[in-house]
């Protein structure tokens, strides 16, 4: 059941600390500074990684590929529906990772089968033990988020992001101590957001908007895309996510005082540049909602602030995403949408 929540989506958003704890359990050894993923213990370090996925899982894959690259492994991300092994150069030792909550998505299954036929080693990163992806791939790594009922994926997104970081670290053997400590703290940080979020008030303030923008750079870019997808899916309103730097290359023309822009402003190398993009929005009269761990630095630039605890810059976007899940939920809730079963959508998409 929904354990007292009005919707599975809200229940699942609130289950994230537990889901993340389960994903991390027994895999991180902070003392030895290593990550061990039992499922891939026999997997060699790949020369290159190709992620294939759809929807929310694609956004998690974008984040994961970025982390692999930071670890020094060539990594690319493909929409499963656009992936063809024939047009992607596949060298020796290429690992193709299908990120799929259900393990049943037809587009992702086809891409994995094609990759396998082309000689790649395949790995399913999935939530469902015994799913088609888990059975058919050479390897399966479980994200252990627990059952997700809501059509809109929430808790599985963060778990997929964490699983990708764990997988890369396990395969490469590089474990940054501060990153491992941040992963340990992640469930508590998410809990802090769940306990203190002002997302409901922010949703209320921008209920009338026809369109919502989300911007972020680096690890926050996939989170911006994910927030827009979630908003479209459950509120039925137009929403778009952009790499913050792309705003001035076109979409800025759409920004007026009726276009709320949610900016992911977590501390790190991308903070200052994203803040200048925020100034460009402000100058056009666009309302700015900052999702940030640095409230002092954004003062004067943001109309609303959604605060997140300070943590490692790689992990912060995972926490920031929770604020935006809640914003989309409360907008949809106030508009009376059928949140758990949006029109035209199915939980598992089994046709190409």
- Residues near ligand M6R (CB under 6 A) are 54-57, 100-102, 105, 108, 151-153, 229, 233, 348-349
Contact 189, 308 (CB under 8 A): yes
Least distance between ligand M6R and beta carbon 94 (Å) = 21
Residue 101 CB coordination number (10 Å)? 30
Compute the Cα dihedral for 322, 323, 325, 329 and give only its sign: positive
Least distance between ligand M6R and beta carbon 100 (Å) = 3
Cβ closer to ligand M6R: 123 or 288?
A: 123
Cβ closer to ligand M6R: 32 or 346?
A: 346
Cβ closer to ligand M6R: 101 or 161?
A: 101
Tell me which H or E stretch contains 184. Answer: helix 177-196
Cβ closer to ligand M6R: 57 or 277?
A: 57
Cβ closer to ligand M6R: 89 or 130?
A: 130
Token pair recorded at residue 155: 């808790």
Least distance between ligand M6R and beta carbon 166 (Å) = 18
Q: Does 347 qualify as catalytic in the annotation?
A: yes
Residue found by looking up tokens 């059941």 in the block: 1
Partners of 51 in the β-ladder: 77, 97
Strands 288-292 and 304-307: parallel
Token pair recorded at residue 284: 């056009």
Least distance between ligand M6R and beta carbon 44 (Å) = 26
Least distance between ligand M6R and beta carbon 303 (Å) = 27
Query: Residue of minimal CB distance from ligand M6R?
Result: 55
Residue from 2, 237, 341, 347 carrying the catalytic annotation: 347
Q: What is the 3-state secondary structure (H, E, C) of 276-323?
A: HHHHHHHHCCCCEEEEECCHHHHCCCCCEEEECCCCCCCCHHHHHHHH
Quick check: helix, strand or coil at residue 7?
coil
Strands 48-53 and 121-126: unpaired
Catalytic residue ranges: 347
């Amino acid at each position: 059941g929904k354990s007292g929540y009005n919707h599975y989506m809200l229940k699942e958003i609130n289950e994230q600390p537990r889901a993340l704890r389960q994903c991390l359990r027994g895999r991180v050894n902070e003392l030895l500074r290593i990550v061990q993923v039992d499922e891939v213990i026999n997997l060699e370090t790949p020369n290159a990684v190709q992620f294939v996925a759809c929807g929310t899982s694609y956004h998690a894959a974008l984040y994961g590929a970025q982390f692999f690259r930071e670890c020094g492994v060539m990594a690319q991300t493909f929409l499963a529906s656009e992936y063809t092994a024939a047009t992607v150069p596949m060298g020796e030792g290429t690992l193709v990772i299908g990120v799929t909550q259900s393990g049943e998505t037809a587009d992702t299954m086809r891409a994995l089968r094609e990759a396998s036929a082309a000689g790649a080693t395949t790995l399913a990163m999935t939530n469902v033990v015994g799913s088609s992806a888990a059975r058919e791939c050479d390897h399966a790594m479980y994200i252990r988020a627990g059952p997700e009922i809501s059509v809109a994926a929430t808790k599985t997104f963060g778990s997929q992001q964490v699983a990708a970081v764990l997988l890369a670290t396990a395969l490469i053997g590089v474990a940054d101590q501060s990153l491992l400590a941040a992963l340990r703290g992640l469930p508590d940080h998410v809990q802090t957001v769940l306990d203190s979020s002002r997302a409901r008030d922010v949703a209320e303030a921008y209920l009338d908007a026809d369109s919502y923008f989300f911007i972020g750079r680096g690890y926050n870019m996939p989170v911006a895309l994910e927030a827009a997808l979630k908003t479209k899916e459950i509120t039925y309103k137009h929403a778009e996510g952009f790499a913050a730097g792309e705003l001035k290359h076109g979409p800025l023309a759409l920004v007026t005082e009726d276009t709320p822009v949610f900016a992911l402003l977590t501390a790190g190398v991308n903070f200052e540049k994203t803040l200048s993009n925020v100034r460009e929005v402000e100058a056009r009269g666009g309302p700015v909602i900052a999702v940030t761990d640095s409230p002092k630095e954004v003062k004067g630039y943001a109309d609303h602030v959604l605060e997140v605890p300070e943590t490692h810059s790689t992990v912060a976007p995972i926490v920031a995403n929770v604020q935006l899940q809640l914003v989309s939920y409360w907008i949809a809730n106030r508009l009376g949408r059928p949140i758990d079963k949006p029109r035209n959508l199915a939980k598992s998409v089994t046709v190409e």
